[in-house]
Chain A
Amino acid sequence: MSKTVWLIPFFPLLGTLLNALFGRWIGRHAHWIAVPALGCSFLLSCAVFLKVWRGETFTGDLFPWIQAGAFTTAVTALVDPLSAVMLVAVTGVGFLIHLYSVGYMHGDSGYARYFAYLNLFVFSMVMLVLAGNFLVLYVFWEAVGLCSYLLIGFWYTRRSAADAGKKAFIVNRVGDTGFALGVMYLWVALGTLDYGAVFSRVGALSPATATVIALLLFLGACGKSAQLPLHVWLPDAMEGPTPVSALIHAATMVTAGVYMVARSHALFERSGVALDVVAWVGGITALFAATIGLAQTDIKRVLAYSTISQLGYMFVGVGVGAYAAGIFHLITHAFFKALLFLGAGSVIHALGGEQDLRKMGGLAPRMIPTTVTFLVGAAGLAGLPPFAGFFSKDEILASAYHRDQFWLWGLLLVGAFLTAVYIFRVVFLAFFGGPRMSKQIAQHVHESPLVMTFPLGALALLTAVAGVVGIPSAQGTAFARFLSPVLPLAEETGGHGALSAYALLILSVIVAVAGVLLAWLLYSSRPLSAEAIGRPRTWLHALVFNKYYVDELYGVLFVRPLLRIAGFCASAFDLGFVDGIVNGVGRLVVGWAGSMRRLQTGYVMNYALATLLGAVAIVGFFLSR
């Protein structure tokens, strides 16, 4: 198994190297390297998954990495049910996105570079999932951040894209700093970074220490998974090519935080407080982002806030101790969110780059495969049975309810209603009603090529059927049972709620359907003009439309003061003081050089005199001893 495991990251890495080094010659054939590389990874992941299914696990070192005194660490891989599930999801969804990119990025001048980055992204994520200790996890945690920077700013000649890449990187740095501190503190406290050793010795930590470490790690998760207050980078990440958005939102990057918390659940449980923080941050983010999603007019922005909101659900899942439910939602979300993004990409492609919902409408008859698959994705997100999202979301809601977290449950229920509203708002505005785009664009609307619609179909199928493994039973879901060696099965600790499991289920369905109906009432029951959509009419609407002014707030609180301090350091301190010292020393030496140079008169007798004086000095020196 060891060789198979290491080959999974090897293929994307190879693809990266080939496309990065020889991209100039490979050019528009880059996908012939990148796509098969990921295909191989996916097949190998499936093979590994089957072995894990049969009960095997694997831990192994690739090579000893750092040996410095007492500190030794190796590049270690850990394959257990949790990482096996993640591997299949990452490489599978990643593969479909790669395939889709062949059509979407066709003819781009940076084609080879694009695929090199894309491969690198998947490689980093695979290594992050495979990592067997916190240091390797940290390295690839950062690598994923780097790849997101490279891909968000892929069209770097566009100012907004370059800015968005920077923003993603800087905001992530805030979280990553916490993560790095957490890893360091962990080493100081326990003397090891190996998962197995850390989780078995976690009892030796005092709850306070565990809380600090867990919260520092969670700060990193907030950055990567775009939770309050570090969510601001994700909506701007839309500046990257749409398949990249799909990759970031579904398979890689944002899921890292949830995965990390689930992986280190022993640490968070030891703290207790940290778990509550995780759950509440998740719950508040879920509702917060859902309200913003209601008012956005850019199709990709709606989806971006939807991702933030859904990640909030996942954090509630792992925060209340229903780890398997959180991971299950992560997987189903990967399917339907990738589907929605790729569907949106197909729409944008058809409209020649138009992302504004106000200029869409009536696309359904012209783009039947895209419409059908997008509907499936929307149903999955809204939580309509029998799609996968229904099972996974309902399980999180039920877990919160059964643990007596009624407030959280309430937040999520409202969030679920809003989710159904905003996603079907997109559906009605984009695909139904009358066309609102210009005539010229309307004439050119066309369905995307097969290489793009095939991934849509595959993801739609997965969204439709993946719920099967999440059907609840007396022993928990099949999915949770599979993960039970790593993630403990949810135990019912509360049980003070009056509603039974079935009542909750029915309530979820009612809420979702109500949301869809409201969306229909508002956006499809009567014809709308482009101007009427998304124009703030009340202060509440304006607040939500402007994303609660968080970006502006950060601008005033952090960005502008920092810029002013940096400006002072650069102009006054660095130029005046530091450079002053350096230049002063330099001028001193140059002056010295100028005067010493005058000794070099060019007259032979002076030279000879110097020789004579030297000789006298040397002889005198020897005589004096």
Chain B
Amino acid sequence: MDAALLPLAPLVVVAGTTVVLILLDLLPPRTSKVHLGVVALVGIVATLVSALFLWGRAGRAFSGVVVLDNFALFFDVVICYAVALVLLLSLDYLRRNGMERGEYYILVLFATLGMLLMAHAADLIVIFLALELMSLSLYVLAGFFQARLTAAESAMKYFLLGAFATGFFVYGIALIYGAAGTTALDRVGAALGSATRDPLLLIGLGLLLVGFGFKISSVPFHMWAPDVYEGAPTSVAALIATGSKAAGFAGLLRVLLSTFRGAQPDWTALLWVLAVLTMTVGNVVAIAQSNLKRMLAYSSIAHVGYMLVGVVAGGPLGAGGVLFYLLVYSFATAGAFGVILLLERGRQEAVNQDDYGGLAARHPVLALTLALFLLSLIGMPPTAGFAGKFYLFGAAVRSGYIWLAVIAVLNSAVAAYYYLRVIVYMYMRDQEGVPTEPAPSFAGRLALGIALWGVFQLGLMPAPVLDLAQAAVAPLLR
């Protein structure tokens, strides 16, 4: 490998794996594509290892438009964990749904490449490139079960709205370029510093926020999420909820904390409102859902609201808290989607809460696993969710946003209702009709095991990872 490319090792590994997959897909066997999944998994694990290996290194490549720092590396780790879990869950899931195609793994890796590039991007054009690479792959993946009507609806809505939001995003880039004369993030920041309150720059930022808001599904750009999650393959829903959201936050944090730090009072006030709206709408509407995938969609919107609280709080505590929370949230959300994905009722995926009646009596381990993921999402100690919320809200209080923290805590209480409802169904209701049965998938169980480990590792010993997260945001705040 060229020495200049070494800082980009995670990106290079993923890109290389993707190329290998495309070639492998052309070779026999045509019926089974599990080996593609395994190769993709190996590639992701190698990426993870390379990211961990590079920890502490800093550098730039391609004339400075791609950057390597701890911030990017932390996101590499979060994204790789999320993608690895999704791949493990997909192995049997595709076959069970009769959609075992090589393209799936290739598209997942392309999306991954886009996510990683987003974390490493130091130029608005590269951010746009990464966003599009990720989004286009996910649009296709959302409609992957092409025979289903809901899948087509899901992909179509995702694509139309995504294109709409991207339009705002590109327009924002154009305005910023017009005002600052550059698209490189650090030079935009410098221009912001010299030209005091250039409205063009701020409008540009506002339009960028629309694009990011769409990606992380913050209110009012969230409306696609429930429909897309519902129609997309569950594994893809998990990928959108975890990996793509992490990538969105990577871009958002880098742009806000580093480039637009000079305009912090402006966007802080805006994000305060967005955070409150996002978590409140997410939690309240989640109550009205009886479809678990839709419920998790609203739940993921609510969690974005919590993370925005950390962005508002700012500083190493707040931003570090967001990074930590992303990891925590990814484990629990991927785990919860994983359990849903494994459960079937009469050849159909078990997505309604009625399907979960009496599950604990027949499959105590699986029910307990789902219960633990949900408890982590509630924020119950000693799970990771508690530690994550504790640091986020604690950072808000430290920064003086007491009311924001109060609203967030009240929201967490509301959230307990719909998570606990699933647990009530599993433990206190009786099963009716055809029993819900889990698919015999070793890889799926392995994924759940890893996610469960994460939930407890981060819950019982949060300090080491939190230190890493705070070290990761340090280069941005310098």
Contact = CB atoms under 8 A, between A and B. Distances in A.
Interface of A: 586, 589-590, 592-594, 596-597, 599-600, 602, 604, 606-608, 610-611, 613-615, 618-619, 621-623, 625
Contact of A615 (B156, B210, B226, B287): B210
Interface stretch (B216-224, B392-400, B429-437): B216-224
A589 B284 contact: yes
Given A589-B284, A615-B210, A625-B266, A604 B161 contact: yes
Nearest to B211: A615
A582 to B, nearest CB: 11
A476 to B, nearest CB: 59
Contact of A589 (B156, B202, B224, B287): B287
Interface centre among B205, B206, B213, B414 (most CB of A within 10 A): B206
B164 interface: yes
Nearest to A607: B223
A614 B221 contact: yes
A595 B284 CA distance: 10
B178 to A, nearest CB: 15
A94 B449 CA distance: 47
B460 interface: no
Given A589-B287, A593-B284, A600 B223 contact: yes
A615 B168 contact: yes
Contacts of B203: 619, 622-623
Contacts of A614: 210, 213, 219-221
Contact of B281 (A596, A618, A619): A596
Contacts of B269: 621
A623 B266 CA distance: 10
B223 A610 contact: yes
Contacts of A596: 281, 284-285, 288
Given A619-B203, A622-B270, 15 more contacts: A589-B287, A592-B284, A593-B284, A593-B286, A600-B285, A607-B161, A607-B224, A610-B221, A611-B164, A611-B220, A614-B213, A618-B209, A618-B210, A621-B270, A622-B266
Contacts of A608: 160-161, 164
B227 A611 contact: no
Please give me the 6 A-B residue pairs with the lowest Cβ-Cβ distance, nearest first: A593-B288, A614-B220, A607-B223, A622-B202, A593-B287, A618-B206
Q: Indicate the size class of the contact surface on chain B.
A: 35 or more
Interface string B221-243: 10110110000000000000000
Contacts of B337: none
B266 A604 contact: no
Contact of B199 (A599, A600, A618, A623): A623
Interface in B412-462: 414, 417
Interface string B187-215: 00000000000010011011101100110
A253 B20 CA distance: 76
A610 B266 contact: no
Contacts of B285: 593, 596-597, 600
Contacts of B288: 590, 593-594, 596-597
Interface centre among A593, A607, A618, A625 (most CB of B within 10 A): A618
B268 to A, nearest CB: 11
A590 B285 CA distance: 8
A611 to B, nearest CB: 5
A618 B208 CA distance: 10
A586 B417 contact: yes
B345 interface: no
B220 A619 contact: no
Interface of B: 156-157, 160-161, 164-165, 168, 199, 202-203, 205-207, 209-210, 213-214, 219-221, 223-224, 226-227, 266, 269-270, 281, 284-288, 414, 417
Given A590-B287, A615-B168, A600 B160 contact: no
24 contacts: A593-B284, A593-B286, A593-B287, A593-B288, A596-B281, A596-B288, A597-B285, A597-B288, A607-B157, A610-B220, A611-B168, A611-B210, A611-B220, A614-B221, A615-B207, A618-B206, A618-B207, A619-B206, A621-B206, A621-B269, A622-B266, A623-B202, A623-B203, A625-B266
A339 B339 CA distance: 61
A624 to B, nearest CB: 10
A622 B157 contact: no
Contacts of B266: 622, 625
Contacts of A625: 202, 266
Contacts of A618: 206-207, 209-210, 270
Contacts of A593: 284-288
A581 to B, nearest CB: 14
A70 B227 CA distance: 59
Contacts of B161: 604, 607-608, 611
A140 B91 CA distance: 56
B303 to A, nearest CB: 17
A485 B285 CA distance: 74
Nearest to B209: A618
A379 B220 CA distance: 90
A612 to B, nearest CB: 8
Contacts of A621: 206, 269-270
A623 B206 CA distance: 10
A592 B281 CA distance: 10
Nearest to A615: B210
Nearest to A618: B206
Nearest to A608: B164
B196 to A, nearest CB: 13
A532 to B, nearest CB: 58
A573 to B, nearest CB: 23
B228 to A, nearest CB: 11
A614 B218 CA distance: 10
B275 to A, nearest CB: 14
A599 B285 CA distance: 10
A614 B211 CA distance: 11
A608 B168 CA distance: 12
Contacts of B287: 589-590, 593
Contacts of B281: 596
A622 B206 contact: yes
Nearest to B267: A622
Given A597-B285, A607-B161, A622-B203, A613 B220 contact: yes
Contacts of A611: 161, 164-165, 168, 210, 214, 220-221, 223
A270 to B, nearest CB: 46
A584 to B, nearest CB: 14
Contacts of A602: 227
A600 B221 contact: no
A600 to B, nearest CB: 6
A619 B200 CA distance: 10
Contacts of B417: 586, 589
Interface centre among B202, B205, B226 (most CB of A within 10 A): B202
A613 B210 CA distance: 10
Contacts of A599: 223
A454 to B, nearest CB: 47
A52 B283 CA distance: 67
Contacts of A589: 284, 287, 414, 417
Nearest to B289: A597
Interface centre among A586, A607, A623 (most CB of B within 10 A): A607
Nearest to B287: A593
Given A589-B284, A602-B227, A613-B220, A622 B210 contact: no
A622 B284 contact: no
B70 to A, nearest CB: 30
A340 B233 CA distance: 75
A594 B285 CA distance: 7
A590 B289 CA distance: 11
Contacts of A622: 199, 202-203, 205-206, 266, 270
A592 to B, nearest CB: 6
A151 B220 CA distance: 62
A607 B160 CA distance: 10
A583 to B, nearest CB: 12
A218 B265 CA distance: 65
